[in-house]
Structure 1
Amino acid sequence: MEPGASSAPAALVPPRLRAGDRVRVVSPASRPERSQVTRGAEILASWGLTVEIGQHAFDRFGHYLAGRDEDRLADVNDALRDPGVRAIIATTGGKGAYRIASGVDVAAARRDPKPLVGFSDITMLHLVLWQRCRLVGFHGPHAGWHEWYGSQVADALRCALMQPELVSVHQDPGELTAKVLVEGRATGALLGGNLDTIGRSVGWACPSFDGAILLIEDVDKHIGAMDRSLTQLLESGCLDGVRGVAVGQFIRSAEEGPGRWSIIDLLYDRLGPLGVPILGGLPIGHGAQPPTVPLGANATLDTATRTLTVEPGVR
């Protein structure tokens, strides 16, 4: 093996979707709004896809879960095991994917790779599938389609799933984290997603970020809570060898007042000592127009061009 070469197994890149393919919509976490899922299914169907709704997608258990753990897990695993299903799209995030992630049928995912689309709490499934079988997934909009999503959101999802093309995300100077910048250029697999979820995965579902670019975003979190998540990742050693950090949106995370740390202060304090390129202001996360970004695919973070470029997540 050449010096510096990785001994890690190759990523599992799923086949692209084609017109006529079946996609399964499931609820691994919270319960979605039925009208939003109807809207999302109509968009998917307009691309020539056959949309199937998981048996328990609209179940309710407690006040925030889409049914019992065993039922939500069954829907995910049924989709992974069905050879006719060519993609799995979560209806929404919320809470609950962490309760079923350890039971995901990794052997089925390895045997028949298919893209999983989702973000927020669905980050936990992406982490587990990467850790255990290196499956490439997508940080992208849920099938519970918000009425404020523009046509560019649908176009980005369609292209990411049906056309093996590079995905480029440019810094938005208007984003809260746009001032976070450590100059440089980094390459590696893009891994991560929701910061709070990544922090809670440490010790059981969190992969090593050695040789990778870490993607982080969050919503409605206090500075102290985000500090806790970042410190957990640092102290656990999960970030040892990380090559760069792509900072997405931190929605409703600003704190005002004299003597108060901002999210910018926190990110510099916790991540600056890593000594790797950091690019903030990327419009990835819980914003109004979320892009679709492959997770697990090779990426380049370039602060000179203020761009994150990711290789296709399908083949």
Structure 2
Amino acid sequence: MIKIPPYLKKGDTIGITCPAGYMVKEKAQTCIDTLQSWGFQVMVGKTLGSNSANYFSGNDEQRLNELQAMLDDDSINAILCGRGGYGVGRIIDQLDFTRFKKKPKWIIGFSDITVLHCHLNSKIKVASMHAPMAAAFNEGKNEFIQSLHKTMTGKKGKYKCAPHLFNKTGKASGELVGGNLALLANMIGTASDLNTKNKILFIEDVGEYTYSVDRMMYQLKRSRKLEKLAGLIIGGFTDMKDTERPFGKNVYEAIKDILQEYNYPVCFNFPVSHDKENYALKVGVSYELTITNKLVTLSEV
């Protein structure tokens, strides 16, 4: 049974940390200002805008220690990851979730934070939020940023999107799991591996070659992650690349062909992505997915 952390109320504290790639502190200022305007206190970790000279927001020990401290600190009510990139997989096995399990809090982010979402779902049995991170606030207070505010404060999400030619119509209900496709494929066989049976799975990715997405989808298929889903949500695949000798299909065409044998509902082009279109979704919480020829809805139960 997945445990749902307490929702946030005015006066609660949100900690901001960067457990993966480096982020300039100035890029998070709009986020900090917005969170404060919503009535929250903000505790900024040292990894945000750290003095790191390489890709990461501090060395593994620094990132691990700061995330661990925020997990254990009872005065922090939620943890917002500043950015993704790469790095959580280097520290995930050293994190101690003993205190966190007794008093869980929302962990928020996407991209490389998919590692945390998977681990929390499969090992710790605590819900988390796949949602916009600090830099997304620079886009303005759009509906996707507002969805994070609503989700953090306990409002049930109900999202709509236009139909897509490749959709498979139908209705599915189940626990929502997923995140970045590359990370989902990388989690297979690890302690953070997702159980997808009877779940609604969502996937998205950025900056990949089409053949690479095809390969990762076959990895999910061969490991039987696609076999007994309740439903599947294909989000945005942004900034995609093709090889000099063309793959021969675009990314949605490649995914569609891999899914031909399955009969569950499938939605393409749902607004969850590395782009601005990125609704806040609760990983580990029950949703209902309804796909018709006229409309797609994803509603928290």
Q: Fold conserved (TM > 0.5)? A: yes
Question: SS at 2:121's partner residue?
Answer: helix
- 25-34 or 95-104: which moved more? 95-104
Question: SS at 1:35's partner residue?
Answer: helix
Assess if the C-alpha contact under 8 Å between 1:150 and 1:289 holds in 2. no
Confirm or deny that 1:241 pairs with 2:228: yes
1:107-135 Cα offsets, whole Å, 9 max, x none, are 23211111011001111111111111221
AA aligned to 1:248 is G
Q: 1:209: which partner in 2?
A: 196
Assess if the C-alpha contact under 8 Å between 1:27 and 1:57 holds in 2. yes
Assess if the C-alpha contact under 8 Å between 1:127 and 1:207 holds in 2. yes
Question: SS at 1:147's partner residue?
Answer: helix
Assess if the C-alpha contact under 8 Å between 2:169 and 2:266 holds in 1. yes
Confirm or deny that 1:182 pairs with 2:172: no
Assess if the C-alpha contact under 8 Å between 2:51 and 2:58 holds in 1. yes
Q: 2:300: which partner in 1?
A: 310
Assess if the C-alpha contact under 8 Å between 1:180 and 1:267 holds in 2. no
- 250-259 or 47-56: which moved more? 250-259
Equivalent-residue separation in structure 2 for 1:148 and 1:47 (angstroms)? 17
1:56-82 Cα offsets, whole Å, 9 max, x none, are 332254531111111111111111111
Confirm or deny that 1:44 pairs with 2:35: yes
Could you state the TM-score of these two structures normalised by the residue count of structure 2?
Answer: 0.92
AA aligned to 2:69 is D
- 237-246 or 21-30: which moved more? 237-246
Q: 1:272: which partner in 2?
A: 260
Q: 2:2: which partner in 1?
A: 11
Equivalent-residue separation in structure 1 for 2:26 and 2:46 (angstroms)? 17
AA aligned to 1:306 is V
Could you state the TM-score of these two structures normalised by the residue count of structure 1?
Answer: 0.88
Assess if the C-alpha contact under 8 Å between 1:130 and 1:207 holds in 2. yes
Confirm or deny that 1:292 pairs with 2:280: yes
Identical amino acids, percent of aligned pairs: 27
Q: 1:219: which partner in 2?
A: 206
Confirm or deny that 1:86 pairs with 2:72: no
Equivalent-residue separation in structure 1 for 2:195 and 2:135 (angstroms)? 31
- Report the alpha carbon displacement of residue 22 of structure 1 after superposing the two structures with TM: 1.1
The answer for unaligned runs of 5 or more in structure 1 is: 1-9
User: Residues 148 and 62 (structure 1 numbering): CA distance in 2 closer, same or farther, change over 3 Å?
Assistant: same
Equivalent-residue separation in structure 1 for 2:148 and 2:217 (angstroms)? 29
Confirm or deny that 1:55 pairs with 2:57: no
- 67-76 or 281-290: which moved more? 281-290
Confirm or deny that 1:198 pairs with 2:184: yes
1:26-74 Cα offsets, whole Å, 9 max, x none, are 1011111211211111111111111001133322545311111111111
Question: SS at 1:187's partner residue?
Answer: strand
AA aligned to 2:234 is V
- Report the alpha carbon displacement of residue 15 of structure 1 after superposing the two structures with TM: 0.6
